[in-house]
Amino acid sequence: MTNLVNLAVIYYSATGTGTQIATEIARAAEAMGAQVRVRKVAELAPQSVIDSNPAWAAHHAATADVPVPSPEDLVWADAVIFGSPTRFGNISSQLKQYFDTLSPLWQQGELADKAYSGFTSTGTRHGGHESTLLAMYNSIHHFGGIIVPPGYTDPVKFVDGNPYGTSHHAVWGPDLGSIDDDTRNAARHQAERTVKVARALKQGYVA
C-alpha cells in the first residue's frame, strides 16, 4: 500500500515541551492516515541532576514508559521527525548521542531517501530556534535524507515565523512544559506536510 506512510517521531525532552509537540505531531499524522511511532531517546543526565530540577524529575518519571528508539524504528519509517530542545544553539547531547549510534544503518544505506523534519524549543525568544534546527539538519544531509521544511507554506507559519521547523518559546514558570495554539498549529502543519511529501516519495519510488 503505497499510500500508507510510516512516521517515526524521535525526540528528547527534559521538562515536557518537546513531548507536547511530539504528541501534537503524532495526532496530526495519524489523522492523515499515517502509522506513527513516538520514541524518546535515552536520558544521559545523572539522576541527581534530574532530581535537582522538580520539573525535569516530574517529566522524567511521567515519560518513563515511552519507548526508546531502536534501529528497526528507522528502517520501518518512511518519514522521521526529530525533536530536541536547544542547548547553546545546538541539539541536546541526548539526541546527538542517538545520532552517533546510527553509523551501521548509515553504512547500509538505510537512512537515505526518507523524508525528515525537525522541531525544537528554547528558553528564550531568540536563543537558538533556528540554529538548533539547522544543526539537526546537518546530520540529515549526511544520511542522504530529504529534508521537509515547513517553510511559509501555510498561514500558520507567518504566525509561528520559523520556516525551518516548529519551535516554541518555553517560558520558565507554572506553564513550563505546555505549548500554545500557535505551536500546536505549526506542529500540525509540519506533520501534515511531512506525511504528504513522504507519501509522494514512496509512491514515486514504487513507480
Does residue 171 surpass a pLDDT of 90? no
Which residues have CB under 8 Å from 72's CB, separation 6+?
A: none
Confidence (pLDDT) at 49:
94
- Superfamily of domain 6-206 in CATH is Flavodoxin domain (3.40.50.360)
Give the pTM: 0.96
Q: CA 52 to CA 204: how far, in whole Å?
A: 50
Does residue 207 surpass a pLDDT of 90? no
**Cα 192 to the chain's mean position, in Å?**
14
Does residue 46 surpass a pLDDT of 90? yes
* Between residues 3 and 12, the one the model is more confident about: 12
Assess contact for 5 and 202: CB atoms under 8 A: yes
DSSP structural state of residue 154: S
Confidence (pLDDT) at 1:
59
Q: CA 207 to CA 202: how far, in whole Å?
A: 9
- Partners of 53 in the beta sheet? none
Buried/exposed 6-17: b ≥16 CB within 10 Å, e otherwise: bbbbbbbbbbbb
Confidence (pLDDT) at 2:
67
- pLDDT (average), residues 158-187: 89
For the chain, which residues make up each domain, given as ranges?
Answer: 6-206
Percent share of the chain, pLDDT over 70: 99
